[in-house]
Amino acid sequence: MSESIPLAIVTGFLGSGKTTLIRRHLARRPDRVGVVVNEFGEIGLDQMFFVHAAEHLELLASGCLCCARRADISRSLHQLVQRARQEGAAGIDAALIETSGMADPAPIIATILQDPWLRNNVRLTAVVAVLDAVNGIASLARGGEAVRQVAMADRIVITKSDLRDAAEREALEEAVRALAPDAEILDAQEPDFDVAALLASRGTAVSAMPSAPTPATGHTTRSFVLRLDEAIDWPVFTVWLSALLHRHGDRILRVKGMVTLRSTGKPLVIHGVQHMMYPPVHLEPEATAGQPPGLVFITSGLEETVIRQSLARFLAAAATAAAPSRVAEA
């Protein structure tokens, strides 16, 4: 139990079927998975490692809701990991968080990334959003938490698709793609659906990005691809990205993708949720063969042109500032 415990967050709007999904997973390995649940009575299984977390937000000094600390999640994960460590070989080898139907995943992610002890003891592998085919389009059309849950997810699981025809199922997938173009979409009703693999880590793979921006949705949440065909100066780029997230983090739901480093020529995968950035992952060039560099932005009330112009101005200013030093060297 010396290694960090892989952790998946399972979110989804009220009645989407996330509890059923977790039940299917636990039925396969009930004694090896720790579970944190926001609401009593959701799982209904006699889990050896089960912790209830009554939903509670703690605002930071800045008052930023998107970076609010989920003290309940922090305490529950501490308790879960400590109990697992005490059990030794009989402890857990994976953990799940089931959010309440109205939960915003961002504060949960922020809590894990901001807590040094949690970062050393749990490893966030996936954010899974469950969306039912019966009410999914209506839920997304209303906006609110259902949209945020889908926009921040690595994987989308569509449930109850057997209750809808193929055209309606396709329309729902198009709505999901408009919000999360790089997310993996799975159908829980498909015969080859593997719930265990669903909750596993996607590793460092970068899913194929769309060749053109997706259309804006009626609730101002949109996605677009920022192509980065040239290698970037990593220190300069991180200053720009940090400043961008500091100013607009509450309107940037997610940014994810790959850049090529000028210093090494190697790819680097980055992933951020609102103000918080995951640790970047360095890759070898062969691991991303055929994948063009670029970032997928999912924003709410923030235009694509604002981000593009911001990066262009920053790079131009950085190039101008570096010019005198290059002349001096010559």
- Determine the pLDDT at residue 45: 42
Taken in order 130, 131, 134, 139, the sign of the CA dihedral is positive
List Cβ neighbours of 264 (8 Å cut-off, separation of 6 or more).
none
- Determine the pLDDT at residue 107: 83
CATH of 221-322, one of 1.20.1730.10, 3.30.365.10, 3.30.1220.10, 3.30.300.30: 3.30.1220.10
| DSSP single-letter state for residue 261 | B
**Where are the domains positioned within the chain?**
5-198, 221-322
CATH of 5-198, one of 3.20.20.450, 3.40.718.10, 3.40.50.300, 3.30.950.10: 3.40.50.300
| Closest by Cα among 3, 199, 177, 233 to 96 | 199
DSSP state string for 102-121: T--HHHHHHHHHH-HHHHHH
* CB 310, CB 244: distance < 8 Å: yes
- Determine the pLDDT at residue 209: 52
In the chain, which residues have pLDDT < 50?
Answer: 1, 40-50, 52-67, 203-208, 210-213, 216, 218, 327-330
- Predicted structure pTM score: 0.76
- Measure the CA–CA gap between 297 and 275, rounded to whole angstroms: 13
Angle at 201 between CA 195 and CA 100, to 5 degrees: 65
Q: Which two tokens stand for residue 275?
A: 């103000």
DSSP state string for 20-77: HHHHHHHHHSTTSEEEEESSTTSS-S--SSEEE-----B--TT--GGG-B-HHHHHHH
| Closest by Cα among 127, 152, 186, 134 to 14 | 134
- Determine the pLDDT at residue 224: 86
Q: How many residues does the chain have?
A: 330
| Closest by Cα among 147, 149, 75, 61 to 111 | 75
* CB 169, CB 133: distance < 8 Å: yes
